[in-house]
Amino acid sequence: MLVLKGKSVNTGITIGPLALFHRNTISTAERKIEDVAAEIDRFQAAREAAIRQLQALYEKALAKVGEEQAAVFEVHQMMLEDDDYIDSIVGQIEEKQCNAEAAVENTAQQFATMFREMDDAYMQARAADVLDISRRVEQELCGGQGIDFSKYDEVIIAADDLAPSETMQLDTDKILGFITSGGSANSHTAILARTLGIAAIVNTGTQLHQDVDGLLAIVDGTTGTVYINPDAETLARMQQAQKEEKDRRKRLELVRGLPSATKDGKAVEIFANIGNPDNLPQVLANDAEGIGLFRSEFLYLGRTDYPTEEEQFEAYKKTVQALPGKKVVIRTLDIGADKKVDYFNLAEEENPALGMRAIRICLTRPELFKTQLRALCRASAFGKIAVMFPMIISVKEIRRAKELLQEVRQDLDRRRIAYDKDMEIGIMIETPAAAIMSDDLAKEVDFFSIGSNDLTQYTLAIDRQQTQLDSFFDAHHPAVLRLIGQTIANGHQAGIWVGICGELGADLSLTETFLRMGVDELSVSPQSVLPLRDTVRSLDLSK
């Protein structure tokens, strides 16, 4: 029996035969060519074919996982249209009089090396993207015979890593799971797997070979463990655990529609986090009581210019109308840090996570901010919207944001356009500064929502996307929990409600801790709603 440990992408247990992922061999060996112009035309034709393929993948992903996750394929198309990338390949064909395959491969490796050497974790992750798009072009140059994805049926796939395009081309309804020796739990592929509900373990650090192809494998997403060719005792134990997991899922259906309250009567609202209106069916299917974090930046990503007020208004209106009577907390623009948008023309920064992002952009570009605020106010006439400002660190910032909101309201009043005059205003608590100052900040708003992901990152001074630091990263660190407890206490002291919308909200080992702190709302991914409600209903805080 071979036991591997990695990073779990999804909880749950799956058992089935292992299938090594085979990519077709592509020859990129350099050779001299006679007709330079014809070779450049051959490259351009392959590049355009690759762009068409990526557009088809985008449309498939859009229908299956929504706009936020599909955006990676728009990014890949943009990379294939990048002038620096194209000029490098064309330049090599001209200067070296070499074949297009070699020029593409050389450029891919140069760009990938450049990305890997950058300090920013987001940019480091782009190395995999440039290699993925380049392989697609090379495949087209070599005849277009791609991977036979149809043969992966009812198997657990083992690979060095899977590109997002490879994940989407698999028939995900037939794949039992996958394990990769590399990759990250925050990669595009991992996020796609999580969204699609595929059992997956990444970054095991062990490259598997032909001798394990076809062997029985177990993926334990609860512990991040993979068992290959398990002994009888391990197989029996994991089969029992899998049965218990299935029974647990059946039990979750019994809490559908029931109050999210402990045995001794402590009630908490369980909301969902979503990235765009395409996620609404998941919110409804998982019986969320509202939306605690609607990430509005999906409107700005994957395009070449700013969204109009009307585009934003329609998206917000569609969301609240789909959830009549339920609260929808919409976070204003949170671009920057790991979310790059070229047309914003933001200056290059040594450390983007500590730079121009979120509310800082909005307050320095007030007309951009007011366009979004007008759309939000107008949509509030059609449902229960609450607006939430991200990355707040001072009272001054809140007051300035509220001033801009008031200017928008006055303009709507003059134009006799309806909006909810009682719309709640809140802020995210994402930095130690905000948590420490939460007693003063609470006097300015109607609610707090604690963004535990960034709060943990900034408290521990560890980039949460930097996998080499995983052994140092502790989301349960006492300092983080103290800041959360302090924020809840200060919020209640001022008479406002306090929620948690980061990943810790779905951490069932902390549910009782948060309820004892007095948290009023927990906002989690849609699939985490019922497990969280089940846990809440099992607790008795009087003991």
3-class SS at 201? strand
What span, in angstroms and rounded, lies between the C-alpha atoms of 267 and 483?
Answer: 22
Residue 76 a catalytic site member? no
User: Would you give the end-to-end CA distance of the chain in angstroms?
Assistant: 44
Query: Which one of 76, 98, 188, 362 is the catalytic residue?
Result: 188
CA atoms within 13 A on the CB side of 16: 19
Residue 22 a catalytic site member? no
Phi, psi of 153 (to 5 degrees): -130, 120
Residue 225 bridge partners (DSSP) = 5, 220
| Beta-strand relationship, 199-202 and 177-180 | parallel
Q: For residue 183, what are the CA distances in angstroms to 68, 188, 217, 425, 467?
A: 20, 10, 20, 39, 9
* Chain-centre distance for alpha carbon 397: 27
Query: Which one of 98, 362, 377, 501 is the catalytic residue?
Result: 501
3-class SS at 441? helix
3-class SS at 208? coil
Amino acid at 451: G
**Torsion sign (Cα): 312, 314, 320, 322:** negative
Q: For residue 10, what are the CA distances in angstroms to 159, 225, 235?
A: 17, 12, 20
In order, the DSSP letters of 381-411 are GGSEEEEEE-S---HHHHHHHHHHHHHHHHH
Residues annotated as catalytic (active site), given as ranges: 188, 501
